[in-house]
């Protein structure tokens, strides 16, 4: 299994190791399986200057699309680490993995997650009704997408956008 590391001006994105978090099953089973199956790439995000873990970011395949997920360590929020890491991983996904669309999803109302996604160039596409559970309740989900063209990169296939939407 190839160890992939990505760098930005401020960050190092590297595979998680057991010292990063307290999720043994996740790190022992799910992350390696996703890398083996080429269905998930998960990275710890370190501040390059201090070596401190500031965030986590991943791309994962679901159905016929790729999704992106991220979180930032509470004391490091508001510094743009999530946006910077998302952009690095998106560019790698488009260039190296041939991904043609990255989807961002979060519980409707999660303004902090949306702020990072929007700064990275994601376009919010709408709300999926009752698309996730939280506790014992169904919740609506916001969905957005980032395309290679949004970052000035070419598509691998021709893209023919719709002439109009359903509302017209």
102/146 Cα distance (integer angstroms): 5
Q: pLDDT tens digits, residue range 83-136? A: 999 999 999 999 999 999 999 999 999 999 999 999 999 999 999 999 999 999
In this predicted structure, what is the pLDDT of residue 33? 72
Q: Where are the alpha helices (DSSP H) in 72-136?
A: 81-96, 111-119
Please name the residues in contact with 34: beta carbons below 8 A apart, sequence gap of 6 or more.
Answer: 40, 41, 42, 60
> Could you tell me how many residues make up the chain?
168
Q: pLDDT tens digits, residue range 6-22? A: 999 999 999 877 777 75
Q: pLDDT tens digits, residue range 40-55? A: 898 999 999 999 999 9
Q: pLDDT tens digits, residue range 152-163? A: 999 988 999 888
Query: For residues 81 and 54, is the Cβ–Cβ distance under 8 A?
Result: yes
Q: Which residue has 């999530």 as its token pair? A: 82
Q: pLDDT tens digits, residue range 124-152? A: 999 999 999 999 999 999 999 999 999 99
């Amino acid at each position: 299994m190839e160890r992939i590391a990505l760098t930005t001006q401020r960050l190092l994105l590297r595979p998680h190791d057991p010292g990063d978090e307290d999720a043994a099953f996740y790190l022992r089973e799910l992350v390696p399986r996703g890398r083996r199956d080429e269905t998930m790439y998960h990275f710890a995000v370190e501040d390059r200057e201090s070596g401190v873990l500031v965030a986590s970011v991943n791309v994962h395949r679901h159905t016929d699309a790729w999704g992106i997920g991220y979180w930032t360590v509470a004391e490091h929020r508001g510094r743009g680490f999530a946006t910077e890491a998302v952009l690095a991983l998106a560019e790698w996904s488009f260039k190296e993995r041939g991904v043609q669309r990255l989807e961002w999803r979060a519980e409707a109302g999660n303004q902090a997650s949306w702020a990072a996604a929007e700064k990275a160039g994601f376009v919010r596409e709408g709300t999926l009704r009752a698309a996730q559970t939280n506790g014992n309740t169904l919740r609506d989900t916001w969905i957005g997408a980032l395309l290679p063209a949004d970052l000035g990169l070419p598509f691998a296939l021709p893209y023919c956008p719709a002439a109009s939407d359903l509302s017209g």
